[in-house]
Structure 1
Amino acid sequence: MLQRILTFFERYSFGVCTYLGGRFHISIAKIRLFFIYSSFLAVGFPLIFYFFAGIVLDFRNYIKRAGTSVTDL
């Protein structure tokens, strides 16, 4: 049951931790733990940042896909 939950969140998450880990060369597990611990300490503020960053990253990927299809014409 726990493995199904973890698989669901890894598949449908925004990829913010992966992006930050690749950008700053930090382990993804450490970034995820940082978000979990800081959300307990800061009463959910990092979750707001996480969702905002996820929306921005998703929007950037959408713009990149749309830009390449227009220039191919």
Structure 2
Amino acid sequence: MINNLRYFFEQRGFRVSSRLADRLGMRVASVRLFFIYLSFFTLGLAFALYLTLAFLAKLKDLIYAKRTSVFDL
């Protein structure tokens, strides 16, 4: 079953990178490596954006906290 799945992806998925490499005049391994690096970059970028927004939300809560009286300081 795993071999059938691997064969399916090799026949369908890797053909895209090989056709793109042929059209651009590059090696297929370089195109595949580019897609791998691009996927890691986009995943890391989304995670960094999430951490930045969480930090800004926490900072906003610390700065703009509603205080009911002067003695809450």
TM-score of the superposed pair, with normalisation by structure 1: 0.47
The structure that has the greater radius of gyration is: 2
